[in-house]
Amino acid sequence: MAKIGFIGVGNMGGPMATNLIKDGHEVKAFDVVGQTLSRIVNAGAAQASSPADAASDVEAVVTMLPAGQHVSDVYTGTGEVLGNLAPGTLIIDSSTIDVATSREMHAAAADAGFDMLDAPVSGGVTGAEAGTLTIMCGGSAETFARAKPYLDVMGKNIFHAGGPGAGQAAKACNNMLLAINMIGLSEAFNLSDALGLERQTLFDIVSTASGGSWALSNYTPVPELVPTTPANNNFNPGFTGAMMLKDLKLSQDAAQSLDVSSPLGAAATMLFSLYCNEGHDADDFSGIIRMLRGKKVD
């Protein structure tokens, strides 16, 4: 068992750190929110006084932070983590951030002599608690192999997507597809309703035809077809509109800076921006079907 520093123990980081503790690791945790930090200390973590404190004298440090700016601050800015790591410490950044910042962090870690892995997750709070997250990783094969035992404790489907930043890249592409497919499904169900088709029939046909998708089979945006989807529960998340909007923005930032034409990605971003601006940022992202349907709500 290892000593692990964990920085950022909120909704996602908290249960991830808890799973490491349950697996027998010693976790030293830090969070800027005192209440959040208390919760993980109650779950068995040691309380660190700063990011640098959490990261010192451990075998691995895991960060789970909101955006690129925070990650940059923690590692190379005022957080001073890079300067306080013991030699050989493994760095795992599970934050979902832009590829460019992620690659800057990789470069800074390499310059300082450390192995780093970007390892953004998907699966939401439920997946974090159950230890069933999907984790997409970027870094060398050796670093991936070093990190794998820890990742296996926090997730279930662990992918090595390629070199530095590849985990971020893969997640951005995947979630952009999820958003596009979900909006498409919403339009198709609304159109199908208007045309008088039974929803079960549309579901049965499209599931086995060329319009099928993971989103249709597992996250249908209308109720009663797939149990347990947010559509059955008044669009309680699940995966919020705000989180999907964040991921879409990351995809579009990358697309724009690399001159990649992404018309449906841009349209999806715009639609989730409308969805969040209307006050649905904390609702499940699949609830966008209601915005598209307007007042004609079932």
The 8-class DSSP code of residue 278 comes to I
Residue 211 touches a second copy, criterion: CB under 8 A: yes
Closest CA to 146 of 98, 108, 114: 114
Q: Which of 47, 50, 132, 273 binds a second copy (CB under 8 A)?
A: 273
Spatial distance between the Cα atoms of 298 and 282, rounded to a whole number of angstroms = 21
CA 127 to chain centre: 10
Q: In the stretch 30-49, what mask flags binding to a second copy with x, by CB under 8 A?
A: --------------------
Site for a second copy in 179-198 (CB under 8 A): 180-181, 183-185, 187-188, 190-192, 194-198
Of 289, 257, 253, nearest in space to 271 by CA = 289
| Nearest C-alpha neighbor of 158 from the set 188, 189, 202, 120 | 120
Interacting span for a second copy (CB under 8 A) from 23-31, 45-53, 55-63, 249-257:
249-257
Are 283 and 231 a contacting pair, CB within 8 Å?
no
Helix ranges (H only) for 8-156 are 13-22, 34-42, 51-55, 68-76, 99-111, 124-130, 141-154
Q: Is 134 in the site for a second copy (CB under 8 A)?
A: yes
Q: Which stretch binds a second copy (CB under 8 A): 32-40, 58-66, 74-82, 248-256?
A: 248-256
Q: From the list 241, 254, 283, 284, which residue makes contact with a second copy (rule: CB under 8 A)?
A: 254
Identify which of residues 61 and 182 has a Cβ nearer to a second copy in the complex.
Answer: 182
Residue of 112, 171, 85, 101 lying closest to 136 (CA atoms): 171
Using CB under 8 A, which of 133, 238, 271, 287 touches a second copy? 271
Q: Which residues share a beta bridge with 74?
A: none
Q: How far is the CB of 69 from a second copy (least distance, A)?
A: 11
Query: C-beta of 94: minimal distance to a second copy in Å?
Result: 16
Please answer whether residues 121 and 62 qualify as being in contact, where contact means their C-beta atoms are separated by less than 8 angstroms. Answer: no
How far is the C-alpha of 98 from the C-alpha of 91, rounded, in Å?
17
Q: Which of 11, 38, 201, 236 binds a second copy (CB under 8 A)?
A: 201
Nearer to a second copy, 25 or 103 (CB): 103
Active-site residue identified among 171, 246, 249, 295: 171
129: exposed, middle or buried (C-beta count within 10 Å: 0-12, 13-18, 19+)?
middle
Among 63, 143, 220, 251, binds a second copy (CB under 8 A): 251
- Tell the smallest beta-carbon distance from residue 224 to a second copy (Å): 17
- Binders of a second copy in range 84-123 (CB under 8 A): 99, 122
Question: Site map for a second copy, 59-78, x if CB under 8 A?
Answer: --------------------
Residue 261 binds to a second copy (criterion: CB under 8 A): yes
Judge whether 171 counts as a catalytic residue.
Answer: yes
Element (H, E) at 158: strand 155-162
Active site residues: 171
